[in-house]
Structure 1
Amino acid sequence: MRTQVLRFALVGVAGFIADAGVLWLALHLGSGYFAGRAVSFLTAVWVTWQLNRRFTFVAHTSGSAWREWWRYLAAMSGGGCVNYAAYCAVVLILPHAAFVPFLGVAAGSVAGLGVNFASARWWVFRHRPQR
């Protein structure tokens, strides 16, 4: 399980990069902090699903990838609520600066990590043999 947690955290770094990159793009296209984050969060969920199913919870895929995607999205939404709350707290509390939204993404990622790992391991990918 230690290896899975480490891999999950590494995938989370890739998710953070996707999240922050899409948020940066959304902000530069005129989106606000909150709408831009909704789009960037969904992007990060898709990226982490792709990586986690191939890297963290490796096994031959059984069942529908479409069903697995919706289960993963639902599972990550629990951690996503924790993540979004931490993001909002950072954005609303800290003085306005260009780096603040990205600090919020980082805080949210750390805040949701445990909830997301538990739901991925014991619900989304439970049908796969665990390493």
Structure 2
Amino acid sequence: MYIQTILLRLLPPSLRRSASPARIAVAAEFVRFGLVGLVGLVIDTATVYATRGTLGLYGAGIVAYFAAATVNWALNRSFTFRGRGSGPMHRQWAMFLTTNLLGFVLNRSVYALLVTFMPLAAAQPVIATSAGAIAGMFVNFGVSRRLVFR
């Protein structure tokens, strides 16, 4: 509710009148999803940096994605979409990973392209993990909201 109040206050008066409570609620969910995504980005990036020497940039990118996706699922379950979704946790986690495959493809495609063709991104993978996270965020929010946490 706090995020919804802040969002409503940030809107110009002309938009405030047309902002329905339902739209504000979705916007607040998106903000929470984005905050969780920032945590996931930190996990993703830290895992890439920690494992790139052993696994190479591509292997580290895959391992890091699954680590970050698992943390994101847990935080989205308890923070973003609290009280929504049902069934056993392991099924919901598997559904989260499955339904977010398109976001995964977008995320890791951007990551792979950047570390392959941009020497700066290969030297500083945070560039590639950040760009990948942004590329997959909107798709992942939509499928998480509509399919995993309904």
Q: TM-score, normalised by structure 1?
A: 0.90
For 1:6, the equivalent position in structure 2 comes to 31
State whether residues 84 and 149 of structure 2, in contact with CA within 8 Å, keep that contact through their aligned partners in structure 1. Answer: no
Q: What's the Cα RMSD here? A: 1.3
Q: Equivalent of 2:76, from 52, 58, 74?
A: 52
For 1:34, the equivalent position in structure 2 comes to 58
Aligned residues: 124
Q: Equivalent of 1:23, from 48, 55, 68?
A: 48
1:20-71 superposed Cα distances (whole Å, 9 cap, x missing partner): 011111013x211101110000000000000000000011663211110110
Identical aligned residues as a percent: 34
Report 1 or 2 for greater relative contact order, CA contacts < 8 Å, sequence distance ≥ 6: 1
Counterpart residue identity of residue 32, structure 2: R
Corresponding residue SS for 1:58:
coil
- C-alpha separation between the residues in 1 aligned to 2:58 and 2:106? 15
- C-alpha separation between the residues in 1 aligned to 2:134 and 2:85? 28
- C-alpha separation between the residues in 2 aligned to 1:61 and 1:50? 12
- C-alpha separation between the residues in 1 aligned to 2:134 and 2:86? 30
Corresponding residue SS for 1:18:
helix
Change (3 A) 1:89 1:19: same
Corresponding residue SS for 2:100:
helix
Bigger helix fraction:
2
1:68-90 superposed Cα distances (whole Å, 9 cap, x missing partner): 01100101222000001110111
Gaps of 5+ in 1: 127-131
Q: TM-score, normalised by structure 2?
A: 0.79
| Match status 1:80 vs 2:101 | no
Q: Which structure 1 residue ranges, 4+ long, deviate > 2 Å from structure 2? A: none
Gaps of 5+ in 2: 1-25
- C-alpha separation between the residues in 1 aligned to 2:44 and 2:134? 13
- C-alpha separation between the residues in 1 aligned to 2:86 and 2:119? 48
